[in-house]
Structure 1
């Protein structure tokens, strides 16, 4: 074994692999089996061979080698096979009880997540504490989180900070990043911008993407202790972006578009916004839409721009909805988005700002027979005591035109008498119509209402529902209507028969 260890120190990994193979097959010692399994797993000194690695680790486990149990457990967890989590938990439990700090840490993670074992935050905390006291930085970081959140133990900000500092000093990158943040903002510690910058550097150099983005952004704008430096800004933002950090990608897009520190290059700006948009960052989708709208870095394409504004809105960026609303209010949507589809986004503008122009546009669509506009504007009016009659009128128009949500809503309003007469016959009628069209809650609610009615009232409500369906086709819209069902994309129908679709 001494020759193998010397070869390892000298970087002769081929000799290491050959030597460990001979020792594992010859002497059969647990240490040699464990180390040989490890080099096979990692591909040191030759090709990776995970299957053979697991065989050798299993041999070492039968000789009660704790590190082999821990490594085998980690391999099992990475494979996600049936029963692997339970076996891994057993292996880790065995090694943890014999003092293996790494096993204690991973067992704590399983207990915290309830993976392979029943969830037990208190037991998880105890194992983190054992591993943390043994010097495991990852466990120390988990202790910091546990004390900070009061999970598995009482909240204790002082202990949370102590263990965060221990983990950071032990080289754990996430701990270094969050300690830097705390020092930078004075969150629970005295503010120290210089120390914060040092910890951001340590975390960035250890490969922590958020720290790399923070450091790169500081070099980009020249703030908090650093001078603007294009090379350093690119170095760290690219590192974070390459690691998948969406905000770093966005910052690169902004930097190339602005052309202040970095040379202006709208083509590169488009590239980075596209990357971040693909990963779901709403503000990048919005910025990319603006570039398409203005024809910067790409050929001008308003249809693409509008689509990106909608993507941004779907990703939670309200400014995307506002951009669509602005186009709608200024008659700039053209054929790029159907009014039925734009209504929801203009309603975001109306709900957030109360803009009269947004209300006027939605009202125009409602008056033109767009059911989703009638429903949305109707609900908005219903929320205002002095405008409830307007809301009821719009909901009723949509219900008559075949909107299932409006039918259910109208029926529900008649149950409570909110803005309309308390009328069980009308309620039963509309809930019956909605149920017949597949509304998931209407049948149950209709049953509850029916229990409060006389047989004569139920018969009258049923007759009115039949009359509605008998005259449905004469009321069917002859223009395109957008049909939405929960979780689906919009579909367009021609002259849809009322009572059969949901807006």
Structure 2
């Protein structure tokens, strides 16, 4: 599908974006959840409704799902990236800018691009720069993604972007910057702590590990629980295992019902990411120490947990 048709469809559907029906919004949200659970194939039919209605976020995630399904850029994925990019979706622009040498282009299966990759990156940079100059922390982080200039990462982290704070900590942990040894450790802890407090579950786990190394076992347990509450699959698996004492390593109070419930909730992540194998290994170990009534109670707890906590996700930043 050529760029004139893409432009026409965006112009046709864009005015309806805010008029999505509640059912369409629900399908879009469900589609994004499935994408984050490595279930691209299941996400596609849910996302396509809002994407066709002109929702640029749905268009972007539909393109991501299509590309994940095929493991390379396809004509259909490129079409939806371009539809989103034409509505100033920065993430779509960046993907188009980074996929100039993809199989789609090399095999000549895609229609001629609306813009060349470098043009998409330049447009993304211009738009992100404008938003960043107005104080938007996320756009500051995207400027780092586009330019790889550390100053943008630092600005985004100081402005409160949770991903920038995480990557600041990771960079310093890996040796970036110049610090005295004791000051480096302080900077790493500072950024992981800030990112954890702002809701990043991977930072919660990193910060928990640092607290454990300092002998703060209660702090370690607290941040493990918080990461699980945020829906991060690895944390849910660890927290559930610790509660069921499989293993009993960090002094968590024994609660096999909650532990079984948490680990069993991860069966929904059967689309990828390797979690299914972990669950299949761990659940029999936990259930072997439980009565049938306890297992039934755990299954009921899983239902209520799903209703009161963020959707499980196995994707990383």
Deviation (angstroms), 1:171: 1.0
Counterpart contact for 1:37–1:52, Cα < 8 Å:
no
- Partner of 1:208 in structure 2? 232
1:199 and 2:220 aligned: no
State the partner residue of 2:34: none
Among residues 228, 233, 258, which one is paired with 2:259 in the alignment?
233
**Partner of 1:59 in structure 2?**
86
Change (3 A) 1:86 1:104: farther
SS of the aligned residue for 1:73 comes to: helix
Structure with more contact order per residue of length (Cα contacts < 8 Å, sep ≥ 6): 2
Q: Offset of 1:250 from its aligned partner?
A: 3.6
Tell me: CA distance 1:132–1:78, structure 2 relative to 1, closer, same or farther (3 Å). Answer: farther
Q: SS of the residue aligned with 1:141?
A: helix
Q: 1:138 aligns with which of 143, 152, 163?
A: 163
Give the equivalent residue in structure 1 for 2:178.
154
Instruction: Say whether residues 1:251 and 2:282 are aligned partners.
Output: yes
Mapped partners of 2:99, 2:284: distance in 1: 35
Q: 1:177 aligns with which of 175, 194, 205?
A: 205
The C-alpha deviation readout for 1:129-158, integer Å capped at 9, x for no partner, is: 12212221011100011122222x224221
Give 2:40's aligned residue: none
What per-residue deviation string (whole Å, max 9, x for no partner) do you get for residues 202-230 of structure 1? 21122223212221121111564533222
TM-score of the two chains, using structure 1 as the length reference: 0.36
Aligned to 2:289: 260
CA distance in structure 2 between the aligned counterparts of 1:78 and 1:169, rounded to whole angstroms: 34
Listed as ranges, the gaps of 5+ residues in structure 1 are 18-34, 44-48, 62-67, 113-122, 264-503
Match 1:69 to one of 78, 83, 90: 90
Cα distance, 1:86–1:74 mapped onto 2, change above 3 Å:
same
1:12-52 Cα distance to aligned partner (Å, 9 max, x none): 757xx9xxxxxxxxxxxxxxxxx743344457xxxxx8666
Which among 95, 106, 128 is matched to residue 127 of structure 2?
95
Q: 1:237 deviation in Å? A: 2.3
Report if aligned partners of 1:104, 1:128 keep a CA contact under 8 Å in 2: yes
**CA distance 1:79–1:193, change in 2 (3 Å):** farther
| Contact 1:70 1:91 survives alignment (8 Å) | no
Distance 1:106 1:198 in 2: 31
State how 1:58-457 maps to structure 2 within 5 Å: 58-61=85-88, 68-74=89-95, 77=98, 81=102, 82=105, 89-98=121-130, 99=132, 101-109=137-145, 123=149, 125-151=150-176, 153-155=177-179, 156-186=184-214, 191-221=215-245, 224-240=250-266, 242=269, 244-245=274-275, 247=278, 249-255=280-286, 259-261=288-290
Residue 231 (structure 1) shift: 2.4
TM-score by length of 2: 0.53
Matches within 5 A, 1:5-84: 11=22, 13=24, 36-42=55-61, 53-61=80-88, 68-74=89-95, 77=98, 81=102, 82=105
Equivalent position SS for 1:167: helix
Q: Distance in 2 between matches of 1:78 and 1:202?
A: 36
Cα pair 2:100 2:117 within 8 Å, conserved: no
- In structure 2, the CA distance between the partners of 1:218 and 1:36, relative to structure 1 (3 Å rule), is closer
Larger radius of gyration: 1
Deviations 1:344-390 (A, max 9, x none): xxxxxxxxxxxxxxxxxxxxxxxxxxxxxxxxxxxxxxxxxxxxxxx
Aligned partners of 1:41, 1:154: CA distance in 2, in Å?
A: 39
Give the Cα–Cα distance (whole angstroms) in 2 for the partners of residues 199 and 41 of structure 1: 32
Flag structure 2 segments of 5+ consecutive residues without an equivalent.
1-13, 29-53, 63-75, 107-115, 293-317
In 1, Cα distance between equivalents of 2:83 and 2:279 = 43
Preserved contact between residue 97 and residue 118 of structure 2 (Cα < 8 Å): no
